Chains A and B, each alone.
Chain A
Amino acid sequence: MNNLKNQHNEEVRLMKGNEAIAHAAIRSGCDGYFGYPITPQSEILETLMELEPWNTTGMVVLQAESEVASINMVYGAASCGKKSMTSSSSPGVSLMQEGISYLAGAELPCVIVNVMRGGPGLGTIQPSQADYYQTVKGGGHGDYKMITLAPASVQEMADHTVLAFDLAFKYLTPTMILADGVIGQMMEKVILPPFQPRLTEVEIREKCPWATLGKPANRKPNIITSLALLSEEMEEINLRLQCRYREIEKTEVFYEEFSCDDAEYLIIAFGTTARVCQKAVEMARTEGIKAGLLRPITLFPYPSRIIRELAEKIKGILTVEMNAGQMVDDVKLAVNGRVPVEFYGRMGGIVPSPDEVLEALKSKLIK
Chain B
Amino acid sequence: MTINDIINPDNLVYTKTKVMNDVPMHYCPGCSHGVVHKLIAEIIEEMDIQNKTIGIAPVGCAVFAYKYLDIDWQQAAHGRAPALATAVKRLLPDRLVFTYQGDGDLAAIGTAETIHAANRGENIAIIFINNGIYGMTGGQMAPTTLVGMKSSTSPNGRTIPLNGNPLDITKLLAQLEGTCYVTRQSVHNVATVRRTKKAIQKAFENSMQNKGTSVVEIVSTCNSGWKLSPADSNDWMVKNMFPAYPIGDLKDL
Interface residues of A (CB under 8 A from B): 31-32, 34, 60, 62, 64-66, 68-70, 72-77, 79-80, 82, 84, 98-99, 102, 106, 212-217, 220-227
Show 12 residue pairs from A and B whose CB-CB distance is below 8 angstroms, ordered by the A residue.
A32-B87, A62-B87, A72-B84, A72-B113, A76-B84, A79-B74, A106-B75, A212-B73, A212-B74, A215-B70, A221-B73, A222-B72
Within 8 Å CB of B90, what residues of A? 32, 60, 62
A297 to chain B, nearest CB (A): 30
Q: A72-B83, A75-B76, A77-B87 are in contact. List 14 more A-B contacts (CB 8 A).
A: A60-B91, A62-B86, A64-B116, A69-B116, A73-B87, A75-B80, A75-B83, A213-B54, A214-B53, A214-B95, A215-B70, A216-B51, A224-B74, A225-B73
Cβ of A72 and Cβ of B75 under 8 Å apart? no
Which of A66, A80, A215 touches B91 (beta carbons < 8 Å)? A80
Task: Give every chain A residue within 8 A of B87 (Cβ-Cβ).
Answer: 32, 34, 60, 62, 73-77, 80, 84
Q: A69-B116, A215-B72, A224-B75 are in contact. Are A77 and B80 (CB under 8 A)?
A: no
B27 beta carbon closer than 8 Å to chain A: no
Bound state CA distance, A102 and B83, in angstroms? 14
Does B154 reach chain A (CB closer than 8 Å)?
no
Give the residue of A34, A64, A65, A227 whose beta carbon is less than 8 angstroms from that of B75.
Answer: A227
Which residue of A99, A102, A223 contacts B73 across the interface (Cβ within 8 Å)?
A223
Q: Which of B90, B92, B112 has the most chain A CB within a 10 Å cutoff?
A: B90
Q: How near does chain A come to B49, taking the closest CB pair, in angstroms?
A: 8
| Chain B residues in 8 Å Cβ range of A66 | 112
> A69–B110 Cα gap in the complex (Å)?
10
* CB of A84, distance to nearest CB on chain B (Å): 7
Residues of chain B within 8 A of A74, CB atoms compared: 87
B52 near A: Cβ within 8 Å?
yes
**Contacting pair B88 A80 (CB below 8 A):** yes
Tell whether, in the assembled complex, residue A212 and residue B85 are in contact, meaning their CB atoms are under 8 Å apart.
no
- B77 closest partner in A (C-beta): A102
Q: Is the CB of B70 within 8 A of A76?
A: no
Q: How far is the CA of A202 from the CA of B53 in the complex (A)?
A: 17
A106 surroundings in chain B (CB, below 8 A): 75
A70 nearest CB neighbor, chain B only? B83
The distance from the CB of A19 to the nearest CB of chain B, in whole angstroms, is: 24
Q: Is A65's CB under 8 angstroms from B77's CB?
A: no
How many residues belonging to B are interface residues under a CB distance threshold of 8 Å? 32
CB-based contact B72/A213 at 8 Å = yes
Contact B77 A72, beta carbon cutoff 8 Å: yes
The answer to whether B236 has its CB under 8 Å from any CB of chain A is no
Complex: A34 Cα to B87 Cα, angstroms: 8
Query: Residue of B at shortest CB range from A54?
Result: B90
Measured between beta carbons, the chain B residues less than 8 angstroms from A72 are: 76-77, 80, 83-84, 113
With the chains together, A102 CA to B57 CA distance in Å? 14
Please give me the 7 A-B residue pairs with the lowest Cβ-Cβ distance, nearest first: A76-B84, A76-B87, A225-B75, A72-B83, A72-B80, A212-B72, A65-B116
**Residue of B52, B85, B87 with most chain A CB atoms under a 10 A cut-off:** B87
In the bound assembly, the distance between CA atoms of A98 and B113 in angstroms comes to 15
Q: Which residue of A lies closest to B59 (CB)?
A: A227
Q: Is A75's CB under 8 angstroms from B91's CB?
A: no
> A165 to nearest B CB, angstroms?
15
Closest A residue to B90 using CB positions: A60
On whether A75 and B74 interact (CB within 8 A), knowing A34-B87, A65-B112, the answer reads yes
Q: A223 touching B66 by the CB < 8 A rule? A: yes
A77 and B91 in contact, given A69-B112, A212-B72 (Cβ under 8 angstroms): yes
B63 at interface (Cβ–Cβ under 8 A)? yes
* Contacting residues, chain B, for A224 (C-beta < 8 A): 73-75
B66 touches A79 (CB 8 A): no
Question: CA–CA, A367 to B53, complex, Å?
Answer: 69
CA distance A65 to B50 in the complex (A): 31
Complex Cα distance A70/B70, Å?
Answer: 28
Which of B75, B84, B113, B116 counts the most A-chain CB atoms under 10 A from its CB? B84
A213 and B92 contact, CB distance less than 8 A: yes
Which residues from chain A contact B54 at a C-beta distance below 8 Å? 80, 212-214
- Whether A79 contacts B88 in the complex (CB less than 8 A), given A212-B72, A213-B72, A215-B51, comes out as yes
Inter-subunit contact B51/A214 (CB<8 Å): yes
